[in-house]
């Protein structure tokens, strides 16, 4: 700022000082005038009031005797003198009736407005013309003689007020003029010293740090000058310290291996260190002033695409106000090729302007290592994918083979059971019908039936082993009460034990013991072990079945008193089809029973253990987990009378079967129930028509039907309104577990497998007829 | 702060009121404070101011001739006037003829001078009241404003009332002075007033033509000056001489009378009224 322009504010300051002083004087004078006016006015009112109070006493004292004496003339003279010489504007006297008695001076303007006092007390008010109006009662020796009014002129009070105010205004004016005359040189003296200070400030601002102004006096401006000198000295010290600090910071930044640049709001580089120049391959002169839009600046992303200016970390930090971290950027250096840098940019606000500090590292080496590692990972992933594909292909092939094996087992089961159904079925029918049978016939039919059941057992064992090996065996684990299971198994092998001359002993189990397992398969395990213990025992030997609990495990033991097994035999005990030398004996067997038994135990989460001593016997132990609360019991099935059962009325049974031998067999079986009329059809469509036409009471349906299979037919029949509760069973050679589950899901009440157990079938028929009749 | 004008006005008013109050309280004992002045008592048949105004030419004349200040005093009533007349502090007193007779015959006073003029006493009524002359019936029940019972006018009225047999028919209302009586009639507080024609003319602000004479009560001499018995003879002589030399203006009113030395014979016509006055004084009736 040049001195000419500096003087203007000083003059303005001086003028403001003068104006403010005058304004203050005028304000004080005005306030004084107002206050004085109020005080004078109030004082005059008080003076008049006090004077009038005394006048009222005197007036009353003078008038009352005259009025009492009806001395109107004297009273009138008195009033006239009061008005003419006493400063009264008017005086009025009223008699006790309020009637005007005497008056001197003009009529009271308040004659009709102001009330006459009712008692001796006086009233006062001031009129608009400044006249003070008073009124009072005329009282003499306690007697009321009327009242009076008089007015006192306020002109004197007003004139006194005006004189006082005039004097005060003159004093105020003189005071203001005096203040101005005093303030003019004082303000010039003050502003001159302030100008010296302003000049000193300009010199300091121009860099003349440490400037000292001459001290003049010890007043406020003198102290201000001293403070200025102190400030100037301190500023010089601080500037020196700041320059030293700046030098150290420059050295520190230059010592960094990390490149650092300071950029302004236009992204121009204002400062940089040596590392920044080195990393970017630029000289300091090239780098300073450059920005991200400079033509020589080529930056790319990791994928090789160019960096847009708006994406540069410093630009983003400026725009968002937030720091930007770890941005990877490839920079084409003028001579040294591409360098990869990792950039951090921090936004700054300095004195209201925005800037950034950007630092970066050369990560070219690290990036190349990462790229190599990434390539290696990609190769590895590629090889893993290839291997995974190979394994998946092998798995698919194995699964296909397994599926084919399962299908083969299913077909084998079906194809073997179908002829056995006819053999066993007719043998059972014949034995039931031929009662009494001719000599030897029943025995011969028994051989046929026994051979058929043995053949079925062999088939079942082989198929079970095949299912186990194929992983197709499924067990349904439940909590099973142990005691009834042991008794049931003992009853099943009791005949075999008797025929072998072996004593079967069952140690009663605690009624509360329960074991976790598949009821059918556990019964199969125990029957197999008991059967072996009976078959490979010595005449008169013993078989002992017992259960024990240790911890959370339950052990079922089958101990025999047979010839025992050697260690070598025990090591080969679970080899399929290896009968350990028994094949030379008379005992029939396939050599896969123990194999199936151990696999079934393992499927139930247990373990089969064998301990044997040659010559003393063998003990097989099945270790299983203890069971919890049992599942709800299935619908009770009581053994029905096979031959005695008879329906009270004729009922119709529809048999859907395409195999003539099977049709004939079932007709022969049901011929044992004369009250039951059998209708047969060969496929599902015919069955639907027959059902609509005849409404059968029971239905027996084969599964492997031409066209619509038995399960589909069952679902359609169940959908008909009248057949929702009709007894309906499947009779199929498809005996796999999955087949049975599919049939039950389709809606069959029971799933009979071929070869048909005639007795079991007739029991169901009798039970169904009984329920229908009920 | 000083308020010269206002303060002066207030003080002046206060002084005036104080003076008036004192004067009223003392029933007009003195009008001036100079001890050396010659005190003269006047018949209080008018208000003080009127009285002083009427007799001011005479006072100036006397003062000029005797060479001493002369101060005129009135009294609160006729009884007070008679008391003052016997007091040494008041050397000279103007008394109606019947009281002057008592003063010279019974109180030791000395006749100084008598008026040479007579006054015709009348019973007056406002003209608005209608014609009442000679109609005793029309006067019945009227209220008559009179001044002090010792006054000549009142005694003449009573004598006339008796003579016309209206004692019980006309009631009287006593007022301190003629001004007040006339004002009472003007206000309607009374119907008739007793006064001499000259007295009515002395009342400032009153037009005598507003009144009509209802009855003529008789003619009497105007009051006479008597000197208290202890009054020095030279002073009496000087006073008399001054009176005899007084030549009033033609329209001087009550004080315009010419004065003569007088004698005892002048009082003879008033002997009966003096007797009436003596009775009044004996009864101790208030004179106002």
Going from the first residue of chain A to its last (774 residues), give the mean pLDDT of each consecutive group of 10, the final group possibly shorter.
Answer: 53 72 77 77 75 77 80 80 81 82 75 51 63 79 82 75 79 79 78 82 85 78 84 88 87 88 87 89 86 77 85 87 90 85 87 82 89 91 93 87 74 80 85 79 82 80 77 80 91 87 92 90 91 89 94 93 89 80 71 87 92 92 84 42 52 90 88 87 92 91 91 92 88 83 92 87 89 82
| Token pair recorded at residue A732 | 């199929």
Of A69, A80, A87, nearest to B288 by CB-CB distance is: A69
The partner residue sitting opposite A51, judged by closest CB among B10, B175, B180, is: B10
Q: Do A44 and B6 touch (CB under 8 A)?
A: yes
Minimal Cα–Cα distance from A64 to chain B, Å? 10
Contact B6 A160 (CB under 8 A): yes
Q: CB-based contact (8 Å) between A66 and chain B?
A: yes
Neighbours of A565 (CB within 10 A): 20
Q: What's A216-246 look like in SS3?
A: CCCCHHHHHHHHHHHHHHHHHHHHHHHHHHH
More confident residue, A124 or B282: B282
- Alpha-carbon separation of residue A755 from A415, A453, A642, A706, A735 (angstroms): 11, 9, 18, 20, 10
Compute φ and ψ for A69, nearest 5 degrees. Answer: -90, 5
Report CA dihedral (B18, B22, B27, B28) to the nearest 10 degrees.
-70
Q: Which B residues in the span 7-46 are in contact with A, Cβ-Cβ below 8 Å?
A: 9-10, 12-14, 16-18, 20-21, 24-25, 46
- How many Cβ atoms are within 10 Å of A435's Cβ, its own excluded? 8
Q: How far is CA A545 from CA A239, A515, A526, A535, B85, in A?
A: 107, 15, 9, 15, 178
List the structure tokens of A21.
Answer: 């002083």
Q: Which of B10, B17, B177 is the closest to A73 by Cβ?
A: B177
Largest CA distance in chain A: 188
With beta carbons less than 8 A apart as the criterion, state whether A612 and A565 touch. yes
Residues in A touching B183 (Cβ below 8 Å): 72-73, 76
**Nearest-CA residue of chain B relative to A84?**
B13
| A36: closest chain B residue by CA | B1
Q: What is the pLDDT of residue A721?
A: 83
Please tell me the number of Cα atoms within 13 Å of A511 on its side-chain side: 0
Decide if B180 and A74 are in contact by the 8 Å CB cutoff.
yes
**Could you tell me the pLDDT band of residue B237, with boundaries at 50, 70 and 90?**
very high
Whole-number Å distance between alpha carbons of B74 and B84 = 10
Query: What H or E segment, with its residue span, contains residue A104?
Result: strand A100-104
- The reported pLDDT for the residue numbered A79 is 84
- Work out the minimum CA distance from B70 to partner chain A, whole angstroms: 22
Rg over alpha carbons for chain A, rounded to the nearest Å, is 66
pLDDT value for A542: 94
Q: B10 pLDDT exceeds 80?
A: no
Q: For a pLDDT cut of 70, what percent of chain B falls above it?
A: 81
Contact B18 A70 (CB under 8 A): no
Chain B residues 178-207 with a CB less than 8 Å from chain A: 178-180, 183-184, 187, 189
Please say whether the beta carbons of A685 and A713 come within 8 A. Answer: no
Q: How many Cβ pairs within 8 Å bridge chains A and B?
A: 109
Interface mutation vs chain B, best among A73, A82, A99, most B CBs within 10 Å: A73
- Show the DSSP H helices in A604-697 as ranges: 660-670, 684-694
Residue B120 token pair: 């015709």
Alpha helix positions (H), A298-438: 313-320, 364-433
For the beta sheet containing B171-174, the strands, ordered from the edge strand earlier in sequence to the opposite edge, are B171-174, B143-146, B192-196, B118-126, B211-221
Range of lowest pLDDT (A312-321, B14-23, B207-216): B14-23
Residue contact A85–B14, C-beta within 8 A: no
CB-based contact (8 Å) between B237 and chain A? no
The minimal CB distance from A74 to the residues B1, B18, B47 is found for B47
β-pairing, A651-656 vs A676-681, is parallel
- Is the Cβ pair B183, A88 closer than 8 Å? no
B46, B50, B184 ranked by CB distance to A70: nearest = B184
Separation of alpha carbons A450 and A357, rounded Å: 99
What pLDDT shows up at residue A648? 52
Q: Which helix (H) or strand (E) holds A136?
A: strand A132-140
Nearest to A70 among B17, B18, B176 (CB): B176
Q: Which two structure tokens, joined as six digits, stand for B72? A: 């005129």
Chain A: closest CA distance from residue B281 (Å): 19
* ipTM metric: 0.71
- Residues of B with Cβ-Cβ distance to A88 under 8 angstroms: 13
Q: Would you call B175 an interface residue with chain A, using a CB distance cutoff of 8 Å?
A: yes
CB contact under 8 A, A73 and B183: yes
Which residues from B are below 8 Å from A158, CB to CB? none
Between chains, do A65 and B46 touch, taking CB under 8 Å as contact?
no
Residues of B in contact with A71 (CB under 8 A): 47, 175-177, 180
Instruction: Give which of A636, A593, A630, A605 is closest to A483, Cα–Cα.
Output: A630
Q: How far is CA B142 from CA B168, B193, B216, in A?
A: 10, 10, 17
Q: What is the predicted pLDDT for the residue at B19? A: 44
CA dist list (Å): A321 to A110, A262, A336, A350: 84, 15, 34, 13
A52 and chain B in contact, CB less than 8 A: no
B97 contacts B266 by C-beta, under 8 angstroms = yes
- Say whether A142 sits in a helix, a strand or coil: coil
Q: Do B175 and A71 touch (CB under 8 A)?
A: yes
Which of B1, B25, B175 is opposite residue A70, by nearest beta carbon? B175
Cα–Cα distance for residue pair A504/A491, rounded to 1 Å: 10
Which chain B residues have a beta carbon less than 8 Å from that of A164?
1
* CA A725 to centroid of chain Cα atoms: 50
**Is A492 within 8 Å of chain B by CB?**
no
* Cβ pair B219, B119 in contact under 8 A: yes
Who among B5, B6, B48 is closest to A74 (CB)?
B48
Point out which residues pair with A146 in neighbouring strands. A138
CA-based torsion, A518, A519, A521, A525: positive or negative: positive
Report angle CA A350, A355, A359 to the nearest 5 degrees: 120
Residues of A in contact with B13 (CB under 8 A): 55, 82, 85-88
Nearest to A333 by CA among A355, A358, A360, A353: A360
Between CA B202 and CA B182 the distance in angstroms is 12
List the single residue in A44, A55, A76 with the smallest CB-CB distance to B14.
A55
Specify the 3-state DSSP secondary structure of B159.
helix
What domains lie within chain B, and their CATH numbers? Answer: 33-118+221-283 (3.40.190.10), 119-219 (3.40.190.10)
Asked whether the beta carbons of residue B9 and residue A87 sit closer than 8 angstroms, the reply is yes
CB contacts of A72 in chain B (<8 Å) are: 175, 179-180, 183-184, 187
Q: Which residues pair with A507 in a beta bridge?
A: none
Residues of B in Cβ contact (< 8 Å) with A69: 175-176, 288
| Cβ neighbours around A5 below 10 Å, total | 8
**Minimal Cα–Cα distance from B125 to chain A, Å?**
18
């Amino acid at each position: 700022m040049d001195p000419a322009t500096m003087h203007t504010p000083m003059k303005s300051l001086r003028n403001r000082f003068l104006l403010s002083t005058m304004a203050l004087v005028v304000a004080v004078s005005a306030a004084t005038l107002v206050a004085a006016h109020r005080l004078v006015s109030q004082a005059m009112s008080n003076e008049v009031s006090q004077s009038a109070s005394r006048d009222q006493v005197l007036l009353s004292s003078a008038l009352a005797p005259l009025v009492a004496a009806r001395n109107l003339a004297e009273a009138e003279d008195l009033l006239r003198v009061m008005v003419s010489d006493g400063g009264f504007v008017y005086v009025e006297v009223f008699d006790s009736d309020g009637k005007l008695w005497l008056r001197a001076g003009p009529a009271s303007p308040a004659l009709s407005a102001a009330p006459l006092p009712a008692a001796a007390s006086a009233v006062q008010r001031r009129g608009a013309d400044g006249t003070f109006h008073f009124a009072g009662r005329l009282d003499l020796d306690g007697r009321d003689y009327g009242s009076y009014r008089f007015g006192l002129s306020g002109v004197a009070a007003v004139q006194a007020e005006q004189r006082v105010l005039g004097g005060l205004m003159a004093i105020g004016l003189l005071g203001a003029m005096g203040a101005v005359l005093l303030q003019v040189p004082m303000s010039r003296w003050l502003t001159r010293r302030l100008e010296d200070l302003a000049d000193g400030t300009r010199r300091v601002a121009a860099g003349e740090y440490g400037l000292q102004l001459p001290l003049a006096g010890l007043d406020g401006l003198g102290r201000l000058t001293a403070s200025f000198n102190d400030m100037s000295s301190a500023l010089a010290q601080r500037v020196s310290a700041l320059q030293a600090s700046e030098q150290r910071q420059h050295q520190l930044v230059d010592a960094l291996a990390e490149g650092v640049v300071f950029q302004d709001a236009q992204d121009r580089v204002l400062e940089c260190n040596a590392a920044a120049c080195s990393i970017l391959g630029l000289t300091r002169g090239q780098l300073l002033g450059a920005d991200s839009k400079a033509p020589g600046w080529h930056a790319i992303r990791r994928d090789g695409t160019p960096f847009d200016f708006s994406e540069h970390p410093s630009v983003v930090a400026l725009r968002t106000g937030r720091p930007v971290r770890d941005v990877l950027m490839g920079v084409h250096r003028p001579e040294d090729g591409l360098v990869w840098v990792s950039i951090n940019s921090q936004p700054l606000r300095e004195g209201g302007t925005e800037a950034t500090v950007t630092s970066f590292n050369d990560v070219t080496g690290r990036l190349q290592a990462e790229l190599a590692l990434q390539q290696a990972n990609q190769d590895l992933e590629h090889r893993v994918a290839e291997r995974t594909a190979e394994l998946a292909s092998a798995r698919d092939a194995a699964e296909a083979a397994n599926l084919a094996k399962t299908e083969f087992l299913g077909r084998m089961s079906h194809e073997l059971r179908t002829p056995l159904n006819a053999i066993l079925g007719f043998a059972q029918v014949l034995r039931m019908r031929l009662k009494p049978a001719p000599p030897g016939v029943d025995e011969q039919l028994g051989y046929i039936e026994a051979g058929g059941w043995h053949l079925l057992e062999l088939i079942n064992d082989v198929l079970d082993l095949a299912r186990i090996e194929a992983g197709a065996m499924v067990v349904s684990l439940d909590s099973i009460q142990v005691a009834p299971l042991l008794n049931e198994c003992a009853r099943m092998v009791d005949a075999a034990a008797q025929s072998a001359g072996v004593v079967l002993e069952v140690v009663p189990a605690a009624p509360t013991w329960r074991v976790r397992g598949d009821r059918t398969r556990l019964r199969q395990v125990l029957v197999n072990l008991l059967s072996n213990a009976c078959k490979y025992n010595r005449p008169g030997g013993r078989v002992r079945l017992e259960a024990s609990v240790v911890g959370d495990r339950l052990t079922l033991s089958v101990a025999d008193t047979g010839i025992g097994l050697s260690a070598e035999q025990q090591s080969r005990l679970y080899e399929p089809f290896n009968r350990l030398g028994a094949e030379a004996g008379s005992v029939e067997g396939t050599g896969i029973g123990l194999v199936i038994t151990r696999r079934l135990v393992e499927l139930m989460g247990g373990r089969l253990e064998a301990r044997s001593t040659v010559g003393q016997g063998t003990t097989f132990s099945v270790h299983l987990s203890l069971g919890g609360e049992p599942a709800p019991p299935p619908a009770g099935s009581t053994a029905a009378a096979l031959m005695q059962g008879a329906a009270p009325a004729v009922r119709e049974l529809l048999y859907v079967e395409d195999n003539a031998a099977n049709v004939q067999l079932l007709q022969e079986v049901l011929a044992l129930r004369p009250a039951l009329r059998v209708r047969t059809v060969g496929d599902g469509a015919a069955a639907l028509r027959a059902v609509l036409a005849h409404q059968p009471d029971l239905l027996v349906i084969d599964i492997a039907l031409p066209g619509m299979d038995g399960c589909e037919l069952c679902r359609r029949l169940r959908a008909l309104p009248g057949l929702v509760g009709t007894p309906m069973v499947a009779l199929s050679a498809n005996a796999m577990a999955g087949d049975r589950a599919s049939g039950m899901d389709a809606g069959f009440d029971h799933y009979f497998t071929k070869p048909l157990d005639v007795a079991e079938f007739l029991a169901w028929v009798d039970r169904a007829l009984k329920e229908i009749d009920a | 702060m000083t308020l010269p004008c206002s303060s002066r006005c207030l003080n002046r008013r206060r002084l005036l009121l104080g003076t008036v109050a004192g004067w009223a309280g003392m029933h007009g004992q003195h009008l001036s404070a100079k001890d050396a002045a010659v005190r003269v008592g006047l018949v209080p048949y008018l208000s003080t101011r009127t009285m002083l105004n009427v007799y001011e030419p005479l006072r100036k004349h006397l003062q000029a001739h005797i060479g001493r200040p002369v101060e005129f005093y009135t009294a609160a009533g006729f009884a007070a006037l008679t008391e003052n007349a016997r007091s040494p502090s008041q050397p000279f007193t103007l008394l109606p003829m019947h009281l002057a007779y008592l003063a010279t015959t019974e109180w030791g006073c000395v006749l100084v001078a008598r008026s040479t003029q007579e006054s015709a006493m009348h019973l007056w009524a406002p003209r608005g009241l209608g014609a009442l002359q000679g109609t005793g019936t029309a006067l019945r029940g009227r209220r008559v404003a009179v001044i002090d019972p010792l006054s000549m006018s009142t005694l003449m009225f009573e004598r006339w009332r008796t003579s016309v047999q209206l004692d019980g028919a006309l009631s009287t209302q006593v007022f301190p002075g003629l001004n007040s009586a006339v004002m009472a009639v003007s206000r309607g507080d009374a119907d008739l007033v007793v006064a001499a024609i000259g007295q009515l003319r002395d009342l400032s602000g009153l037009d005598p033509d507003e009144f009509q004479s209802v009855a003529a009560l008789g003619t009497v001499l105007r009051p006479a000056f008597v000197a208290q018995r202890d009054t020095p003879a030279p002073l009496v002589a000087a006073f008399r001489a001054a009176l005899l030399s007084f030549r009033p203006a033609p329209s001087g009113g009550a004080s315009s009378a010419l004065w003569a030395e007088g004698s005892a014979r002048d009082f003879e016509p008033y002997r009966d009224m003096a007797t009436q006055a003596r009775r009044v004084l004996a009864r101790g009736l208030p004179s106002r």
